A and B are shown apart, each in its own frame.
Chain A
Amino acid sequence: MRRHTARQKLAIYALTLLVMVFFLGPICWFILLAFRHPSEAYTLPPQLIFEPYLGNFIDTFVEPGNNAPQLVNSLIVSSGATLLSLPFALSAAYALSRFAMRGKEFIMNWYISLLIAPPIVFVIPYFILMSWIGWAGSYQAMILTLQTLAIPFSVWLLKSFIDEVPLDLEEAAWVDGATRLRAFFRIIIPLALPGLIVTSMFTFVFSWNNVLFPLVLSRGSTVTLPVGTISFFASTGVYWGHIAATAVVAMLPPMIIFLLLGRYVVRGLTFGAVKG
């Protein structure tokens, strides 16, 4: 590794500090907003020291707490979308990882083209379809349509994990007389379990952070938390205290999950293409 002179070190640390302030400062400032009294949202010059106020959280999550059910809705939709995608993605990822077949590259590209296609194109017809079949505003409408993102993503990421399970182990199991199915459950599942967990965590976060599908397909009692926050930009005024309190709660699960994911973050964000 290259050695740095003291002056170089100073320059690097100064630059690093600048980078950290630029990228983390806005988040910290917004978290502070959630603890400010609404009348102090716009105090200039900015006040770093102030008396913390919990009213914003109490109003939104406790009493009257209109946003508490939305938090539950977010949990239901994100977990539902994650659980539904897993069996579909797992079998496809196993096939793509373990078999030589024609058109494999085409299929992989097809999955990724779904991930980068504009979701708005799909969501308007879904909106009309769901009201025709009586699913308008239902959880299942959101959970099902989110699969257009959840399945292709999970196939890619899971394949990268299954690729890493040595084929020898599976073959040894076949030699011992295990069927392919049995070998799959005895070898692949346990060895790719970290991969399954990592994939589920990412799918959960992406579904949690998705706003377009719930915005269009939810209704009253099924609204998810980030969509609920949008309603605080009302024609009667912008309720910054309530916006900040609900948004801070909405951003906690993804932040915590990313910290837990540690070294898998790079791999997940690149759909398994970069190992990291």
Chain B
Amino acid sequence: MGRPGKFLLGGSGLLNRSTVNKRLPYILLAPSVIILLALILYPLGFALRNSFWFWNLQTSPMPLYHSGWDNFRMVFLVTPFSEALKNTLLLAGLGTFAQFWLGMGIALLLHTHLRGMGLMRAVLIMPTTLAPVVAGFLFRYLLEPKGGILPWLLKGLGVPVPPQGFLGNAGTALFSIGLVDTWQWTPFFAIVLYAGLLSISEEIKEAAQVDGASGWRMFWSVTLPLLRPIAAFLVMIRFMQLFNSFDLVYVLTNGGPGTASRTLSFNLYREGLVNYNIGLTAAMTWLVVIIVSIIINLYLFFVFRKREW
């Protein structure tokens, strides 16, 4: 093994090197994989064990008694789990959809390359740089029912504003959270999709033009398919980040009014760190882990099957 190379390269260490090389990549990966496995398997194991135990941190520092599948039943009886799941999917689905198409529109604006678009690209990203809680503070101020500038502006335009404000109304609370997230993350889609537009070669576009494609036809049949790999990646990342929404819910509505804007993450937080119902939280953790795994694997299977990293 490696004999011609040894001669060619003249180094006596090459043979040695190639045997080491088989193990070396795994040795280099090991530290990060070990620390991450420890950081993940501990919580998952913890949740698996305690999902079958009754344990409330307010009454005991340790699990009290074995309770079979009770915790799993209680998740649906005591917490608004199905409502939270519905809210989460609605928020993630609609939010990702809105952000993608708004971002695409802005990317096309940037792609006109008119004077000033460079500056716009540089400052447009500012909402995305904010911590989600800070975006939450910002919009709680803007949406404040008495004295906030947005209800004032909308009233001026004749739009009906609920008396409890958009965040305090059961029909608009979840929608408002989605809107704030859309405000924060549309620029992210815009600048990444713009980078994607730049990477499409002029030759392909010219070839399409020679074939008579222009305007919308060009966009749907040439541009969009070429952006597909980038779009698939962005949509996956954003869908899951929205699916995990906690910060915005915590600051904007605290899951309310009632349970109208609870997401799965917020539901877990309430049960675990407000009610200290550790056993029940553990059962819910596993339900969420299973749902997330299904979503991620479906996505990886259908979208990334042929992708080479």
Please report A residues at the B interface, Cβ cutoff 8 Å: 1-2, 4, 9, 12-13, 15-16, 19-20, 22-24, 26-27, 29-30, 33, 41-46, 87-89, 91-92, 94-96, 98-99, 101, 104-105, 107-109, 111, 113-122, 124-129, 144-145, 147-148, 151-152, 155, 174-175, 177, 179-180, 205, 208-212, 216, 226, 229-230, 233, 240, 243-244, 247, 250-251, 254-255, 257-259, 262, 265-266, 269-270, 273-276
Known: A23-B186, A29-B142. A230 touches B251 (CB 8 A): yes
The CA of A155 and the CA of B30, in the complex, are separated in Å by 13
Instruction: Mark B residues whose CB is within 8 Å of A.
Output: 9-11, 13, 17, 21, 24-26, 28-29, 31-33, 35-36, 39-40, 42-44, 46-47, 57, 106, 109, 112-114, 116-117, 120, 122-134, 137-139, 141-142, 144, 146-149, 152, 183, 186-188, 191-192, 195-196, 199, 230, 233-234, 236-237, 240-241, 243-244, 246-247, 251, 264-265, 268-269, 272-273, 278, 281, 285, 288-289, 292, 296, 300, 304, 308-309
* Contact call A99/B192, Cβ cutoff below 8 A: no
Query: Which residue on chain A has the smallest CB distance to residue B243?
Result: A118
Contact of A96 among B29, B31, B36 (CB under 8 A): B29
Q: Which residues of B contact A120 (CB under 8 A)?
A: 244, 246, 265, 268-269, 272
Q: Is the interface of B mostly helix, strand, loop or mixed?
A: helix
Kindly list chain A residues whose C-beta atoms are within 8 Å of the C-beta of B144. Answer: 42
A145 touches B39 (CB 8 A): yes
Beyond A122-B43, A226-B131, whether A269 also contacts B236 by CB under 8 A is: no
Residues of B within 8 A of A269 (CB): 128, 188, 192
Interface contact A24-B46, CB-CB below 8 Å? no
Q: Can you name the residue of chain A whose Cβ is closest to the Cβ of B237?
A: A116
Given known contacts A23-B186, A89-B32, A254-B129, A122 and B39 CB-to-CB distance under 8 angstroms:
yes
Q: List 12 A-B residue pairs with CB atoms under 8 Å apart, sorted by A's residue number.
A: A12-B109, A30-B137, A87-B31, A114-B40, A116-B241, A125-B47, A148-B39, A174-B17, A209-B132, A251-B130, A274-B192, A274-B233
Cross-chain contact A258 with B125 (CB below 8 angstroms): yes
A43 closest partner in B (C-beta): B147
